[in-house]
Amino acid sequence: MKIQIEKLQLKYGGFVAIENLDLQIDDGESLVLLGQSGCGKTSTMRCVAGLEEPSAGRIVIDDVVVFDSETGVNLPPNKRNVGMVFQSYAVWPHMTVFHNVAYSLKVQRAAKREVRERVMAALTTVGLDSFADRGASLLSGGQMQRVALARSLVMQPSVLLLDEPLSNLDARLRDRLRIDLREIQLRLGLTCIYVTHDQGEAFALADRVAMMQRGRIVQIGTPQEIYAQPASASIADFLGVVNVFECTVPPSEAGYHDAQLTGYGMTVRSNLGVADGGSEMKICVRPEDFTVTADESADSSEDIVPNHWRGRIVVSSFQGDSTRYAVQLDEGPEIQALQSRKRRAAFDIGDRVWIGLDPDAAQLLPAEVAS
Amino acid sequence: MTSLPQVLRGSKKLGPVVVVIVILAVLILVPLALVLLASISTSVPRPGNISLGDLTLGNFALLATPEGLTALLNSIEVGIGSAVLALIIGSFLAFLCARTNAPLRKFLFFVGMAPMFIPALVGALAWSLIASPSAGFLNIALRDVGLNLTINIYSMPGLIFVLGIFYAPYGFLLVHSSMAMMNADLEEAATVHGAPLRTMLRTITLPLALPALLGAGILVFALTMENFPVAQVIGNPGKVDTLPTFIYRLMSATPARSNEAASIAVILTIGLLVITAAQQRVISRRKFTTVTGKGARPRQVPLGKLRWPLTIVALIYFLVAVVMPMAALLVAAMQSTPFVSTISQLFQAGALSFRELGNTIMSDGFQLGLRNSIVVAVLAAAVGTALSFIAAYIRYRTKARLRAVVEFIAMTPLAVPAIVMGIGLLWAWLLIPLPVYGTIFVLVIACVAVFFPQGYRGVSASILQLDQDLEDSAVMLGASRARAIGTVTLPLMRVGLTSTFLLFLMLSMRELSAVLFLFTSHTQILSVVVFEQFENGQSQAAAAISVLYVMVIAIVAVIAQTVGSRERSPRLPNPMKGTQE
């Protein structure tokens, strides 16, 4: 079902948790609110759920106004038909799996047979049909997560909210449940809002990702768009772009810019356009976009090829399929480079190396999204 | 800008909170306000007689008289003396129990706790039987062996002694939990870094336990300073007046000097307020000094040759605080002649019989007292627990603007002596036009009001342990808030609520001071019956009822223990732990 959030605002005393937020989620869409803790993403979700009362704004779910500060409408959570999977799962330990899942149907006074059928169907969907009579306190984390999901699915919610649904699981299980969740969401055509601080999780689960910072949505788009084109250096930083350096960008008529690194006598060429952020610009490079090659003596190729610098390996850390290097550039800052295992021979600490960078991979971004 | 709908919504939400605040205020604040009013007035608050016309500070002049000053200084002396004694006994037992290889450690834990089941009133009564200068068993025995030595319990040292031994369990419990939960790593770190055992105890263990020691000391000081029954039973015959007994004498004088009693009550309350504030500060600081219950068991201190001697010292405490008092009560209850001149007389045939005990059990006085005690305790426990839950829920689960007020009122009785609360309740329920005064319900109200902080704290701790998501998820699934509380929150808090119920029950069974001015001949509870008999010089009857009273409390304690251990906490989910399916 469609969800519409207009001019949403939430204040705790003097602190503004959500500021003037507009967001529309289409029927059957999976939207992920991504951001650091304290950015307002969970607050936004709780406003949709009705667990938090916004100070201003309007929320419409499936053409029903559930909150409107103008007219004073504020439907309680139990009247909104919104499903929610809590970060802690909130599976009730004093009930069996069956009774946990059957709860909403009992509240609706559904017939016994119908309850049984629908609960078992929901449990089958999440692959827990054989656990119906198990006490809920005897489940593992992954199983509890599935019970919490089935419990929300069984009420056929207009929208399903999931608060960091995978953050309490270990890495392997997380990868598997991530795919399971996406598969269930697509199969049932559910409208979902996820909240997460994990970019990998966000990209895997989302049709669209809404990046949040300081109570505002700073960028919204498909996972591919956000990954390829972060709107600011601080978003890039959050998405794992570790090489972020202040720079100045002289005006240029050519198809590229030669950014001047602040504090160093070093320029970085970038073919990616400048969104004319004006004042504060930063150059952002993903570690995997640097190439590390052996220093074949001090030849004279220096400064002839752009984005080609000499440096020394400071730290070398083997990570299985790749190796991560910290390289101190002779005339620049220390950078982080990630080299795939297949690509090159390993280097040791102290080795002299050449660092290369494709101008297509160097992004010039404003420090923050203009408000 | 606040729109009209917002205002309306606000008031709808505030409604229930206001109702709870009004209930708590009537229960707790109104009595206190009346005591305060009486203290600066020349008349007692009576229906149709509340006026602000005759205000005066003259009542407080009583404190400057030798009488008042002596009572004040005595109270402080009693508080300090018994706090020090209780702390020495309590921490000695706690250390022996928690941190050494002393023999009989399990039994020593029981020794540390056991005097709690003897109401201080009964303990005082027993010690007056043991060591009253003229007829005390101990003094008779001393005379029998020809020693010209009289132990006079009716004295300041006697008062300190009795209060000290019966309040030692408070010190014991606080210090024991601090020592038992001490993180072994901290001590092992000292050992690893070269500290011998003695140095470790001095530089690590003691400083870590210090906040608990200090907190326990201040708590015992506060409890003993406001204690009425012991001061009355032990202090009064020896002309050692404390503030609570002074208040009682003023209240029971003819004509009653109520306004002056109120002024002394205000002074006592202010004193307790200061002490309680200090104690809360110490306790709150303790949070980051004491350590979690995790990790290995703390190291045991080998006592070597002192193992048995130290255990015997602990057993002597048991003798003094439990065995001798109970034996004295039993003998006094079974004596066939009230006058005993030598101990050997007690061993003659027919000197002891169960007749008096049997008579007491069958007597109307005891049966009425027992029935009333049970009714009062059960009702107070039920009402107190329910009200504690509501108050704690408002404080920790809602965003009501007045939730801080709820907590403030709930915790207020902590700083109010029970006897002061009793006076306030007397006046309050004479004024309030509900037919409560003179019934058993006013006693229930008194117990709920006096013990509310303890109940509120217990429920709060339990509510804080419960993830709010558990209840919210029921609401998200369509349940109303009330239904979510009923089907999820209350069942999950069963353990915490049960133990709060039992706490109210036990405390109400023992209470005397709070109900001292509230009972009638039909609503006497056991503690009142014992006190009345003693005051009327019927020490044999008082002893007999005391024996039965302690037995009733022991039975309630055993039931509480059994129910408590059966109500095991359901395993709460721990998502951090579950990893494999």
DSSP state of A79: G
- Whether the ipTM is more than 0.85: the answer is no
Give the type of residue at A79: K
Of A347-351, B369-373, B559-563, give the lowest mean pLDDT range.
Answer: B559-563
3-state secondary structure B48-92: CCCCCCCECCHHHHHHHCHHHHHHHHHHHHHHHHHHHHHHHHHHH
Residue B345 scores a pLDDT above 80: no
Residue count (chain B): 581
- Test A89 with B575 for CB contact under 8 angstroms: yes
Residue from B473, B475, B567 to probe the interface with A (highest A Cβ count within 10 Å): B473
Q: What percent of chain B has pLDDT over 70?
A: 90
Q: Peptide bond before B309: cis, by omega within 30 degrees of 0?
A: no
Which of A181-195, B39-53, B91-105, B307-321 holds the top average pLDDT?
B307-321
Candidates A83, A93, A143; nearest CB to B581 = A143
Residue from A94, A153, A195 to probe the interface with B (highest B Cβ count within 10 Å): A94
With CA atoms as reference, the chain A residue closest to B489 would be: A92
CB pairs under 8 A between A and B: 118
pLDDT tens column, A19-40: 999 999 999 999 999 999 889 9
How large is the average pLDDT for residues A220-226? 93
Of A80-94, A275-289, B285-299, B445-459, give the lowest mean pLDDT range.
Answer: B285-299
Residue B499 scores a pLDDT above 60: yes
- Measured between alpha carbons, how far is A181 from A204 in angstroms, rounded to an integer? 10
pLDDT tens column, A56-100: 999 999 899 999 999 989 999 998 999 999 988 889 988 999 999
- Test B479 with A69 for CB contact under 8 angstroms: no
pLDDT tens column, A53-62: 999 999 999 8
CA distance B492 to chain A (A): 7
pLDDT of residue B10: 45
pLDDT of residue B372: 95
φ, ψ for residue A355, nearest 5 deg: -110, 130
Residue A318 scores a pLDDT above 80: yes
Chain A residues interacting with chain B (CB cutoff of 8 angstroms)? 49, 51, 69-72, 74, 76-78, 81-84, 86-94, 103-104, 107-108, 136-145, 148, 151-152, 155, 168-170, 173
Cα torsion for A56, A62, A63, A66, to the nearest 10°?
Answer: -30
Contact B368, B523 (CB under 8 A): no
Q: What percent of chain A has pLDDT over 70?
A: 94
Q: pLDDT band for position B352 (50/70/90)?
A: confident
Please state, in angstroms and as integers, the Cα–Cα distance from residue B257 to each residue in A184, A319, B15, B42, B244, following that order. Answer: 79, 86, 41, 10, 14
- Test A170 with B579 for CB contact under 8 angstroms: yes
Which of A160-174, A353-367, B92-106, B438-452 holds the top average pLDDT?
B438-452
pLDDT of residue B51: 65
Mean pLDDT, chain B, rounded, equals 85
pLDDT tens column, B268-285: 999 888 888 887 777 666
Q: pLDDT band for position B125 (50/70/90)?
A: very high
Give the type of residue at B178: S
Chain B residues interacting with chain A (CB cutoff of 8 angstroms)? 3-6, 8-9, 467, 469-470, 472-481, 483, 487-488, 491-492, 570-573, 575-581
Residue A333 scores a pLDDT above 70: yes
Residue A280 scores a pLDDT above 60: yes
- Measured between alpha carbons, how far is A31 from B343 in angstroms, rounded to an integer? 89
CA distance B4 to chain A (A): 8
β-pair type (A208-213, A30-34):
parallel
pLDDT tens column, B230-246: 999 999 898 999 999 99
pLDDT of residue B190: 78
With CA atoms as reference, the chain A residue closest to B576 would be: A168
Candidates B5, B467, B477; nearest CB to A103 = B477
DSSP class per residue in A215-244: TEEEEEE-HHHHHH--SSHHHHHHTT--EE
- Test A137 with B570 for CB contact under 8 angstroms: yes
Candidates B469, B480, B481; nearest CB to A86 = B469
pLDDT of residue A343: 61
φ, ψ for residue A315, nearest 5 deg: -135, 140
CA distance A129 to chain B (A): 14
